[in-house]
Structure 1
Amino acid sequence: MRKASGMKLTNRLVAFVTLIVICAIFVIFIGGAVSFRKLGQDYLTHYLDGMVEVIDQELADPQGAKSLSRWLPKLLKASNVVELEIGSPSGVMYAYQGLQPINDPAVLHQGSYTLSHNPGFTVKLKSIPPYTEFTYSIGAMSSITLAVVIIILGLMWGMNWLRQQLYGSELLEHRGRMILAGKVDDHAVGDEQEWPATASLALDQMIAELKDARQERSRFDTFIRTHTFLDQLTGAANRVLFDSRLQSLVQEPETHGAVLMIRISDWDELLAERGKAVADELIQDVGMILSNLIQRYPDTVLSRYFDAEFAILLPQQPAKEVKQFTHQLLKALDRLAPPSPLQPDNWCHIGVTYCASGDRRGRIMDAAEMALRSAQLQGSNSWDTYQKAPQLEEGRGSVRWRSLLDQAFGNSAVVLYQQPALTLDQQVIHRELLARIPDEQGKLIKASHFLSAVTQVGYHTKMDKAVVAQALAMLKNGPVGDALSVNVSVEALLEKAFVRWLRDELLQTPRTVLNRLSFEIAESSLVKHLDAIRPVTRMLVGLGCKLVVDQAGRTIVSTHYIKDVKADYIKLHRGLLRDIHQRQENQLFVRSMLGACANSAAKVIAVGVENEQEWRVLQQLGVQGGQGRYFTSELPCGAKES
């Protein structure tokens, strides 16, 4: 893979030009020094040859030979000759030894000459080379010094000019580095000084087209999911999504809930007399009332089941709470004034039935239909319940739940189970921690059963603190390669006190431990409070933790948050994966989610895989990991996997 260079273009050019100039100066300096030395040697040789020629002529003259000892020492001293010896066939005729001190005799120039006018005579001498005792002189070397100074000043000016000319390319290079670092939005438009200008403009245009393509893809994905699973008029779920959620609920072990059918009577007459606009306005008003009432119940599904019918799925709610909710719902609808020809006291009816694990979806809807018909026979706005046998046990009220949760937190009785998330080659990505608490008889209650109670009594912070504290202790004391993932509620992350506590705990934890910790946040709550949660997610990622978006697909939301929060993993909601090999619409949703994650670092994990058929289809669709009982059942923390 090609990597970006670590050296700027300007620095490269400056270094290249500087190196060339320094090399040129060095070559000229070496050449000048060699030439200077050669000239000195040639001058010395020429001077000594002339002096030997004088000695040869004087020796040829008998009078000159007699006066040799009188004038020759002066000549030798003036010529920097330190030793001279005139030899003849009979022996040494004359010898001279200078008195000046010589620090290094090896530098002396030695020469031996044969006298042409005096056959048999030789002259051997040693002289000091020229310029040996000379030192640097400003006057003598001023021209060379000035030339070097001019070259250095010219080089500095040239480098400064080159930097100014290439400043635009540095801006363009810096922008490219920021884009490679993932900061595309911050550098979508370049500076006017960027150079080459054509490359800068082309980059601006490509980024704009890329952003538009991403937005269009996000809109298209949202459009697909919306038209596949949502009613276009009310924005509620359609029949396909409701049936899928109900089927997933009854296939989960130890689950229960209630199904409510709300029907508007005389719908055909309203359409015929008042038209579609008035009828649609009534549907929107009813849908708004239902949507507002279900807000306090987690995981509730509201659906426009038919044109004039709504269906509500209330999971994990006791019969007492269902009855109370139905009364509130009927009172709210009674306050709505329906248009004529609908009768104000006999225009809406509600049928209620209960469901539990193992029930068939078709029979549940038939029971709700029977309860709805029974309510219509009463001749007024009313509701009725289909009595099932055996009756569901009455659930705990908020007071009992609060007492049970206080006891669990006070005794540190929150028990953690774990289930691994695996890659396609069965490597463990992390182990998701699942909280459970004991009831009055000591039997463990799953989180899916008590999380609604935690919401009602406002104990999100206490629950998340207990789970995070245990997870950090397990990471510090457990195996080095073990990675854990904890679920954190958005409600807790919105509280400043909890965020400060979490920040302090993480800052006291080594980085190597934090790199093995992941935080899971529900998708619907994350998108709803995205602006408030974004600083918290950045803090978690900045400290070294991984971010996981859980329950993706439980609600229909835009997927722009994936790149916004820089999630590491996206976990698909288990309701999407139930019998996915038989549900083409769910496969379309998974493809849409995988497409939304294609240009990001987020990896998609399928949660709740139950059998080989589901896993095979998910692999064909392109998920990067799986989690569920098909791989490993939920086990207590510390238990060995079979």
Structure 2
Amino acid sequence: MIDIILFGDRHRDNTQAPTGSVFLIEFNHLKDEDTLKLLSLSIHHLLREYPNHLVARFSHTSIAILLPNHTEQLASGLAPRICATLHNYFTQSPDDTAFNIGIVCFTYMETVSEILSQAEEALHQARHIHQRCWFILEKGLHYPESHGWHNWSKHLALCIREQQIEFELTPFYGVKRQLIFNNLCAFTDGICGNTLGDEQLCLLAEKSSLELPFLRLKLSAAHNLLHTIEGSLSITTHAKVIASPFKLNQLLITLYQYPTNIRQRLIFEIRESEVTRLLDKIKLGCFALHALGCKLCINRAGRQVEGMQYLSELSVDYLKLDQHMLINIEGESRQLKALESIRLMLQGTSTQLLAQHIKSQAHWEQLQLVGIEGAPFNLNSALD
């Protein structure tokens, strides 16, 4: 059951004031942070037609969505679409509420505290409503056989078994426009026809204990591609595979069957948050991968500079800096100081600093001055 409360604009008489909407979505009994990340990604994908939207954590069990220049009518129309998306992740029962939504429309004359107070009040009232939302009954958007993590896990397992995962390449280029490597990104159709990207699939595979078969499928695709293209391939990898002695052994057996010139062009890419959490358990695995000729890339790096002691304990070939690290690197900014600290840590190593995202040519030129050596393909499109 879904409960929704929509508060109208409290300044309707002021027709000149621009309006916006805030959605507060609370997930009952949600304890898995990866689930919240995956849900946030799905909502972010749903709102791709609203370029200025913001999806952010509000509390440990809720997320907030900000939609500027968004009227009450648009908000009430968007609510069923968000609910339909969320339905695909939860198993519903007739007498329980998996999530509640509080929506408030506001004018820019109101303060942030007033807006959030209204949204929290709407969410509080939504918790106490016990009736099914109209769109479930009238629009047929309730999928009793499709939603729930169990069914999503079965869907991913089927896609892996039947090799229904597709791949695309995202090139990373260096300062002199030479190809550094390609990111091998997986994608496939979801249960209800939506597209699941590489990050969503990785989270789903991890939650479903399908990390190893998913990685094997990626390696098989990489092996085939490396016979036809030049350069190296970077593959997003779960640290759990490298941290588990059994899974690591299976991975090494698979890699050992590949020719040396193929292994030397494989880059295993791991999230920094996983590296810091499982550092002691992945040291041996990272050493073994290097021994076979493979390389290591840490992505989303720099979120917590004080937690980057792994740079002194692991041999890292590439460091993809989180985009928030590269937004403001002028003067005495916190980001610039953090970047300087990272460069000091890397002195005497061969680690290359890469940008996860570049906004413009001017931004790229600025990043080169502070030691960034590579960026994704969209930069080169901008330069052309």
TM-score by length of 1: 0.41
Q: Which amino acid aligns with 1:371?
A: A
Q: CA deviation at 1:322?
A: 8.9
Distance 2:23 2:306 in 1: 25
Matches within 5 A, 1:425-504: 425-439=176-190, 444-475=195-226, 477-479=227-229, 481-504=230-253
Change (3 A) 1:516 1:451: closer
8 Å contact kept, 1:553–1:576: yes
Distance 1:556 1:329 in 2: 37
Q: 1:417-460 CA distances to partner (integer Å, 9 max, x unpaired)? A: 11111111111111111111133577643123343332332221
Distance 2:258 2:249 in 1: 14
Q: What's 1:319 paired with?
A: 86
8 Å contact kept, 1:460–1:492: yes
Pairing partner for 1:371 from 109, 114, 119? 119
Q: 1:513-534 CA distances to partner (integer Å, 9 max, x unpaired)? A: 2221111111111111111100
8 Å contact kept, 1:351–1:372: no
Instruction: Report the 3-state secondary structure (helix = DSSP H, G, I; strand = E; otherwise coil) of the residue aligned with 1:429.
Output: strand
Distance 2:97 2:347 in 1: 45
Matches within 5 A, 1:120-159: none
Q: CA deviation at 1:369?
A: 3.9
| CA RMSD, Structure 1 to Structure 2 (Å) | 4.6
Q: CA deviation at 1:599?
A: 3.7
Matches within 5 A, 1:378-389: none
Distance 1:617 1:323 in 2: 48
Distance 2:205 2:64 in 1: 16
Instruction: Report the 3-state secondary structure (helix = DSSP H, G, I; strand = E; otherwise coil) of the residue aligned with 1:426.
Output: coil
Change (3 A) 1:544 1:293: same
Distance 2:157 2:32 in 1: 26
Q: Which amino acid aligns with 1:559?
A: M
Pairing partner for 1:423 from 170, 174, 184? 174
Q: 1:207-263 CA distances to partner (integer Å, 9 max, x unpaired)? A: xxxxxxxxxxxxxxxxxxxxxxxxxxxxxxxxxxxxxxxxxxxxxxxxxx97569xx
Q: Which amino acid aligns with 2:290?
A: V
Instruction: Report the 3-state secondary structure (helix = DSSP H, G, I; strand = E; otherwise coil) of the residue aligned with 1:482.
Output: coil
Whose Rg is larger? 1
8 Å contact kept, 2:299–2:320: yes
8 Å contact kept, 1:569–1:605: yes
Q: Which amino acid aligns with 1:372?
A: E
- Is 1:551 the counterpart of 2:289 in the alignment? no
- Is 1:538 the counterpart of 2:287 in the alignment? yes
Matches within 5 A, 1:184-583: 293-297=31-35, 299=37, 313=63, 318-320=85-87, 368-374=116-122, 396-439=147-190, 444-475=195-226, 477-479=227-229, 481-554=230-303, 558-577=307-326
Instruction: Report the 3-state secondary structure (helix = DSSP H, G, I; strand = E; otherwise coil) of the residue aligned with 1:471.
Output: helix
Q: 1:349-374 CA distances to partner (integer Å, 9 max, x unpaired)? A: x98569xxxxx9x9999764421144
Pairing partner for 1:609 from 358, 361, 369? 358
Instruction: Report the 3-state secondary structure (helix = DSSP H, G, I; strand = E; otherwise coil) of the residue aligned with 2:349.
Output: coil
- Is 1:622 the counterpart of 2:360 in the alignment? no
What fraction of aligned residue pairs are identical, expressed as a percent?
18
Distance 1:353 1:399 in 2: 30
Deviates more, 1:461-470 or 1:489-498: 489-498
TM-score by length of 2: 0.65
Q: 1:358-398 CA distances to partner (integer Å, 9 max, x unpaired)? A: xx9x999976442114457x6xx9699xxxxx99x889421
Unaligned runs of 5+ in 2: 1-21, 41-55, 66-81, 130-134
Q: Which has the higher contact order (CA 8 A, sep 6+)?
A: 2
8 Å contact kept, 1:522–1:549: yes
Distance 2:363 2:347 in 1: 22
8 Å contact kept, 1:594–1:623: no
Q: 1:9-31 CA distances to partner (integer Å, 9 max, x unpaired)? A: xxxxxxxxxxxxxxxxxxxxxxx
8 Å contact kept, 1:422–1:627: yes
Q: CA deviation at 1:622?
A: 1.8
Q: Which amino acid aligns with 2:197?
A: K
Change (3 A) 1:524 1:612: same
Q: What's 1:75 paired with?
A: none
Q: What's 1:591 paired with?
A: 340
8 Å contact kept, 2:24–2:120: no
Q: CA deviation at 1:311?
A: 9.2
Q: CA deviation at 1:607?
A: 0.8
Q: CA deviation at 1:469?
A: 1.8
Distance 1:560 1:383 in 2: 48
Distance 1:313 1:295 in 2: 11
Distance 1:402 1:304 in 2: 25
Distance 1:448 1:505 in 2: 23
